[in-house]
Amino acid sequence: MFSLKKPILIGLTSIVVLGSNANQAETIIHAGKLIDGQKDTVQSKMTIVINDNLITDVIKGYKDPSDNDTYLDLKDQTVLPGLMDMHVHFGGEYQSKAERPIKVEKEMEAILASEHARVTFHAGFTTVRQVGDSGMVAISLRDAINQGKVIGPRIHTSGKSIATTGGHADPTNGKAVDDYHFPLPEDGVVNGPYEVYTAVRQRYKDGADGIKITVTGGVLSPAKSGDNPQFTQEEVNAVVTAAKDYGMWVAVHAHGAEGMKRAIRAGVDSIEHGTFMDDEAMDLMIKNGTYYVPTISAGEFVAAKSKIDNYFPEIVRPKAASVGPQIGDTFSKAYKKGVKIAFGTDAGVQPHGTNWEEFVFMVKNGMPEMKAIQSATMETAKLLKIEDTLGSIEAGKIADIIAVEGDPLDDISVLKDIVLVMKDGKAYE
């Protein structure tokens, strides 16, 4: 956090404190350019007024700060709302067979998760949705961040993903039969609607914010198919019904069209990846208001790595090679058709902190720069149902604000050049 006693530098941006009173009345930001997360136009020479953790005014022109105000001079930068990533996996990053350690203790996942949260936060992402880990990692990290013990983004988490036997996210996949006990619903493996309720209720008991299910095969799991349906209609119906009983959202890993259509009909909140989505699935999503979280950058990453011998297990390699190129094409078609899109990367497949690359791929595949930014601000806020408090820079919203060098509407890749991150009205180095 910045000191109230002297000016400091965050990146290339001066933060000047006018006065020594520790109880500052307001924080005044002078923004050379402002992308507020809602308007389709850039506003120039704007003042953002913050009191405590709330934005109280957004004014045309540069308001003079008073002696007791904290003043942030961002006249040479572009100011945006804090970004949101709807698909991360703090606690892990994919490693090749050569890089992978012989064993990894579960405690290591928690240690790494804290570092992944830190680099993601400093990359400009002040809110994330963690959709799957070993169980309690992101829940515990969320609580530590909320209590001010660790620096990182707000976390909305599903806890352990729910799969069917042998499905993507079955933790015993790839193990010899003698090396595991049959996993229970509490462990995230269900078969039939009755067991679904047990699994959902366990996640509620654990303190999860939502539910993640894997309705089709996956790319990186040690199984042949990456797109076969793995939940029956009755099972996914039960997931949604049970989750709604507890006020929880439902995010759905899906590559194949049939599995995702079952999920959309059931009323899930979002489809993740959506690689082989067909026209019928897109029409159903538009009809039901289902969000699409594309994760193009993860597809690009695994496609590139599939060309390297021994990077992936041989059963994974052909899936990675076919899924990667397809995600971009599906995204382009879904955007043109009018499917609602929320930003998500699958960071943890690719390195954490590289989340900005998703913007580049979205623009490359046909989404205008402003729409790509809005997909990571107001659209993500709507998906999480927090649009009344976050997602835009306007009076009454929480002061989650970032600044970058350059203009992302001229070059979307400048979103990698974060010079200020503010969360809850506090600026961080």
Burial status of residue 22 (CB atoms within 10 A of its CB: 0-12, 13-18, 19 or more): exposed
Contact 170, 195 (CB under 8 A): no
Q: Which of 93-102, 236-245, 379-388 has the lowest mean pLDDT?
A: 93-102
Q: Which fold has domain 8-82+392-428?
A: Urease, subunit C; domain 1 (2.30.40)
Burial status of residue 119 (CB atoms within 10 A of its CB: 0-12, 13-18, 19 or more): middle
Tokens encoding 248: 């929880």
Tell me how far apart the alpha carbons of residues 385 and 135 are, in angstroms, rounded to a whole number.
23
Tell me the CA end-to-end span of the chain in Å, nearest whole number: 6
More confident residue, 92 or 119: 119
pLDDT tens per residue across span 342-358: 999 999 999 999 999 99
Tell me how far apart the alpha carbons of residues 70 and 81 are, in angstroms, rounded to a whole number.
19
Nearest to 75 by CA among 14, 123, 124: 14
Confidence of residue 102 (pLDDT cuts 50, 70, 90): low
Mean pLDDT, rounded, for 359-387 = 98
Mean pLDDT, rounded, for 112-133 = 96
More confident residue, 311 or 404: 404
Beta strands 83-88 and 125-130, pairing class = parallel
Domain 83-384 part of CATH 3.40.50.720: no
Q: 211-234: b or e for each residue (b if 16 or more CB lie within 10 Å)?
A: bbbbbbbbbbbebeebbbbbbeee
Contact 124, 82 (CB under 8 A): yes
Confidence of residue 14 (pLDDT cuts 50, 70, 90): very low
Confidence of residue 220 (pLDDT cuts 50, 70, 90): low
pLDDT tens per residue across span 62-91: 999 998 999 999 999 999 999 999 999 999
Q: Angle at the Cα of 189 (from 187 to 191), degrees rounded to 5?
A: 140
Burial status of residue 62 (CB atoms within 10 A of its CB: 0-12, 13-18, 19 or more): middle
Mean pLDDT, rounded, for 146-173 = 89
Q: Tell me how crowded residue 197 is: count the other CB atoms within 10 A of its CB.
A: 17
Which residues 6+ apart lie within 8 Å of 273 measured at CB?
253, 254, 255, 293, 294, 295, 298, 299, 323, 327, 346
Q: Which of 157-171, 191-205, 279-293 has the lowest mean pLDDT?
A: 157-171
Burial status of residue 8 (CB atoms within 10 A of its CB: 0-12, 13-18, 19 or more): middle
**With 90 as the cut, is the pLDDT of residue 248 above it?**
yes
Tell me how far apart the alpha carbons of residues 394 and 401 are, in angstroms, rounded to a whole number.
11
Position 135 scores a pLDDT of 87
**With 70 as the cut, is the pLDDT of residue 244 above it?**
yes
List, in sequence order, the alpha helices (H) in 44-87.
none
Position 177 scores a pLDDT of 80
Position 100 scores a pLDDT of 65
Contact 155, 142 (CB under 8 A): yes
CA distance to 214, 229, 233, 297, 421, per residue, from 168 (Å): 6, 10, 17, 20, 35
More confident residue, 8 or 156: 156
Contact 1, 424 (CB under 8 A): no
CA dihedral 51, 56, 58, 64 (to 10 degrees): -40
Measure CA 14 to chain center: 29
Confidence of residue 307 (pLDDT cuts 50, 70, 90): confident
Contacts 24+ apart (CB under 8 A), 364-369: 364/328, 365/296, 365/328, 365/329, 365/331, 365/332, 365/335, 366/331, 366/332, 366/335, 366/336, 367/331, 367/335, 367/341, 369/408, 369/409, 369/412
Sign of the Cα pseudo-torsion (102, 107, 110, 115, in order): negative
More confident residue, 134 or 281: 281
Position 221 scores a pLDDT of 62
Contact 390, 398 (CB under 8 A): yes
pLDDT over 70, % of the chain: 89
Mean pLDDT, rounded, for 262-282 = 97
Position 13 scores a pLDDT of 41
pLDDT tens per residue across span 143-158: 999 999 999 999 999 9
Mean pLDDT, rounded, for 324-333 = 91
Position 22 scores a pLDDT of 47
Amino acid identity, residue 336?
K
Contact 298, 304 (CB under 8 A): no
More confident residue, 130 or 175: 130
Q: Where are the domains of the chain?
A: 8-82+392-428, 83-384
Mean pLDDT of the chain: 90
**With 60 as the cut, is the pLDDT of residue 2 above it?**
no
Tell me how far apart the alpha carbons of residues 140 and 114 are, in angstroms, rounded to a whole number.
10
